[in-house]
Structure 1
Amino acid sequence: MANTAELFEWKGTTCVKLCAGGYEAWVANEIGSNVIRLRDNVNGLEFFRFSEDNTADTIKQSAEVWGLPTLYLPNRFADGILKTSDAVYQLPVNEKAPYNNHIHGFLHKRAHEVVEYKADDNCAWVKTRYVYDEKDEFFKYLPVRFTAEYTFTLSEQGMEQNIRFINTDGMKVLPMSLASHTTINSPFVDGAKEEDIRLTVPIGKRCELNERCLPTENLKVPTMHDLEYKNGVKKPVLQVVDNEMYFAEYADLDGEKFHGVIAEDIASGKKLCYEVSEEYGFWIIWNDRGFNHYFCPEPMTAMIDAPNLSLPADVTGYREVKPGDVFETHERFFTKL
């Protein structure tokens, strides 16, 4: 079948539907360029948490836990404070006591613009963009102008997501920590059972968190519990997995180094593969108490609260984008049989 890219209305929001290589993706530009649906129609895989009964408003109200939301600034900042090399910003405290943190930023809640959508014989793609400046209500907390550009490409290789942040401020550095709050459907294979899911995450040391879900700066050697991820025997649902954060290492996929995670339905042998670029130095695993039919292997470019920690930036992953410079990351989702 011919590859296609088309604009369509889905329950009150605009989306671009891409079809190519047996995959289908719905990119909701008005909900933070969230990929609210990704399917392998040939092999029967529903990658992300999706419900036919949903409305656009349902997703907008909880944009972190549907589809593939991109978070800037992700996870938690203690007391809402964000320290950069040239400023100290006070972000709103939107996670109340006992946590008292700022959580997850704002970009995944904004309406982005569609720049282009097309298809050819090789693939289908859409480009979206968000320009952040004084017109955004968050600017009073973080007055640093930037442009975020997204490109989603669908082909026989699966779905690729490329994200670019351009610091357009001219004066101040742009603090950079980026994450995907990736919601994997459970089960992700049509007709499968949740108890048959196994998750492989190539973990290094564990980053210990305190009762506010903030790093203690104690980096722990993996225990037998942690090594379930590395050994590919972790059951990511039907039990509680609560903000387990690790340094990212490499897995093996078909005899080659693989920087990503692999979820397998052991009954069918079908694998959901999630590859990320090396800028993503950390994985956080979370599953919303384990019985809500999804789990989140979240790649982050930096630790939780990274700019405020005493650990060096080459450990925390914290970066700053200078005026005029660009920060870029890449992800890919695909099926293996």
Structure 2
Amino acid sequence: MNTIARTIDYKGETCIELISGDYRALIAPFNGSNVMKLENTALDIDVFRNDPELTPAQLKAAAEIYGMPTLYLPNRLSHGNLKTSDAMYHFPCNDPLGNHLHGFLHLRNHDVKEVTADGNNAIGKTSYTYDENDEFFSTYPVSFRADFTFTLTPEGLNYEFTLTNLSDRQMPYGVCNHVAFKGPFTSSGKGEDVRLCVPVGDKWELDEHAIPTEKNLPITDYDLQYKNGTMIPVLKDIDNDLYTAEMNELDGKPFYGVYITDTATGKRICYEVDDTMKFWIMWNDHGDKGYFCPEPMSWNIDAPNLSGDPSVTGYTELAPGESKTVRERIFTTVQ
């Protein structure tokens, strides 16, 4: 079986290429350890939005809407405020609604730590240490290390993301994957044949600044399309549909994640997430660009500033020296 793990040149930047079985992945350390491409060549499935014509600079400028970027912190902080148990930080407002959006980790150039092939496993490891050398440190002086491990096997891609608090302060712990799935995801597919299944629970109301009011909305027939897997996630505008996560089912078995189906062929992309991820938010950039983002988040939008109990908002912290790891996997099947 063909198993390859190596670094390659991508228009002047270093990329990690992993090949195992029918799968091929490209990891971009220069773009925040983004999984810039994942494909099953035998099934003609191209999982993530990607564009080989883009330069590294262009990819960095659009880091959230290509591939699989990892965000620290998730989504929005109202007015840029981040309240922790021992401090208050004020992040710059970088979205038109007057909030801070998406954090900074996915915008940094990460280090390649290891690239190895072990049997059928093609493995790439990257890391970033956030400290006083980072331009953002004067705003947020909480040092940490982010470690990524990507393991490609003949069964798909396994992802591990570890945050370690290197500071003497409490570190807010909120993570999100701003996954940009292609729709359609096969070379001959049609957008109208794509269906998305998301195990949605409570629906959260957002105010005019896209911040939770902390009220739940009634579940409608529209929302149930996510739950029963009939939602067409492209060709219409989906703008911040926010839900508490529940357990899904895949082929009769419990499955904590989402899956996407091409109804014409039965081909599927399956995205299983860590149970740390307590919320799903759906967005598709107006639905006319051939991609959509079902984003798992460990905490709710603006969780540090919400009044609800942390068991409801998902807010949590890492103590000095503490680590936490998120594990996810993406694989493809045919019904």
| Same fold per superposition (TM over 0.5) | yes
Secondary structure in structure 1 of the residue aligned to 2:126: strand
In structure 2, what is the equivalent of residue 295 of structure 1?
Answer: 292
In structure 1, what is the equivalent of residue 221 of structure 2?
Answer: 224
In structure 1, what is the equivalent of residue 15 of structure 2?
Answer: 15
Q: Distance in 1 between matches of 2:202 and 2:117?
A: 42
Q: Distance in 1 between matches of 2:143 and 2:49?
A: 32
Q: Percent identity?
A: 46
Deviation by residue 1:94-150 (Cα, 9 ceiling, x = unmatched): 113xx1101011000100000001012221011100000000011111101100000
Q: Distance in 2 between matches of 1:223 and 1:144?
A: 42
Code of the aligned partner of 2:311 = D
Aligned ranges for residues 102-181 of structure 1 at < 5 Å?
A: 102-169=100-167, 171-181=168-178
5+ residue gaps, structure 1, are none
In structure 2, what is the equivalent of residue 214 of structure 1?
Answer: 211
Alignment match of 2:323 (pick from 310, 323, 326): 326
In structure 2, what is the equivalent of residue 236 of structure 1?
Answer: 233
Deviation at 1:156, TM superposition (A): 1.7
Code of the aligned partner of 1:172 = R
TM score, norm. by length of structure 2: 0.98
Q: Is the 8 A contact 1:21 1:123 kept in 2?
A: no
Q: Distance in 1 between matches of 2:52 and 2:115?
A: 24
Q: Distance in 1 between matches of 2:54 and 2:197?
A: 30
Q: Distance in 1 between matches of 2:268 and 2:219?
A: 25
After superposing on structure 2, the runs of 4+ consecutive aligned residues of structure 1 that deviate more than 3 Å are: none
In structure 1, what is the equivalent of residue 95 of structure 2?
Answer: 95
TM score, norm. by length of structure 1: 0.98
Deviation by residue 1:304-329 (Cα, 9 ceiling, x = unmatched): 00010000100011110000111111
Q: Distance in 2 between matches of 1:53 and 1:114?
A: 24
Aligned length: 334
Deviation at 1:227, TM superposition (A): 0.6
Q: Is the 8 A contact 1:2 1:121 kept in 2?
A: no
Deviation at 1:63, TM superposition (A): 0.4
Deviation at 1:21, TM superposition (A): 2.3
Q: Is the 8 A contact 1:48 1:184 kept in 2?
A: yes
Deviation at 1:57, TM superposition (A): 1.3
5+ residue gaps, structure 2, are none
Q: Is residue 254 of structure 1 aligned with residue 251 of structure 2?
A: yes
In structure 2, what is the equivalent of residue 307 of structure 1?
Answer: 304
Q: Is the 8 A contact 2:2 2:21 kept in 1?
A: no
Secondary structure in structure 2 of the residue aligned to 1:212: coil
**Alpha-carbon RMSD:** 0.8
Q: Is the 8 A contact 2:260 2:269 kept in 1?
A: yes
Q: Is the 8 A contact 2:74 2:299 kept in 1?
A: no
Code of the aligned partner of 2:9 = E
Q: Report the more deviating stretch, 199-208 or 47-56.
A: 47-56
Deviation at 1:255, TM superposition (A): 1.0
Secondary structure in structure 1 of the residue aligned to 2:94: coil
Secondary structure in structure 1 of the residue aligned to 2:68: coil
Q: Is residue 278 of structure 1 aligned with residue 261 of structure 2?
A: no
In structure 2, what is the equivalent of residue 190 of structure 1?
Answer: 187
